[in-house]
Amino acid sequence: MKKLALIALSLSSFMASATTLHVSPEFKIGPYAGSGISGAGLQLGVTDVLGLDALYVSYSHTEAEILLDEDKLTTYRLGGQYQLVDKPMKMALQLEAGMVQYEGHREYVWSDQSKSAEGKGASISGAWVIFVNDNVGFRVGADINYIDQKNTLFGTNWSAMFSSGVVLHF
């Protein structure tokens, strides 16, 4: 959380030249098929800065269970929103890059043993945004995380999640 606060403070210098605030809550689905809504996140930043429609920091936390595994993924990313089309509807592309922290725990059946794992890795995200007016938009996207498999309980280095949210400029 301290990392997110530092990034937010560094963006505050752009606030003087920015016209509005960018806020976007989201919910996440994944990282397993059938895990349902398993997480939430928030984008917070400013608009009309550095040639972008928005520049923001992004935080998300996801907790999912499958069989006997419990996994937690927390992401910290820096992102930008670039407006692609203005007419007939405003449409934009969001791209983010940053880091992911992983914590996992596995209980074994008929045993008192358990296994835990922790790791860090890279995280990227992309989303498509369609605005219904100048201040409200809806977005859908995907997150891809890379964590070395020896530091996770996943069967692969990669994890993916779908996300959807509302974009507010005010």
pLDDT tens per residue, range 27-80: 999 877 667 788 999 999 999 998 999 999 999 999 988 788 889 999 999 999
Count of residues for the chain? 170
Cα torsion through 152, 72, 79, 16, rounded to 10:
-140
Peptide bond into 88 cis (omega under 30): yes
pLDDT at 6: 58
34 within 8 A of 64, measured Cβ to Cβ: no
Report yes or no: 35 and 67 within 8 Å, Cβ to Cβ: no
Domains in the chain: how many in total? 1
Token code pair at residue 51: 């040639």
Residue 125's domain comprises 2-14+21-169
Q: What is the pLDDT, as a whole number, of residue 9?
A: 56
pLDDT at residue 103 tops 90? yes
**Domain at 39, CATH number:** 2.40.160.20
Q: What is residue 87's predicted lDDT score, i.e. its pLDDT?
A: 85
pLDDT in tens, 116-154: 999 999 999 999 999 999 899 999 999 999 999 999 888
pLDDT bin (cut points 50, 70, 90) of residue 2 is low
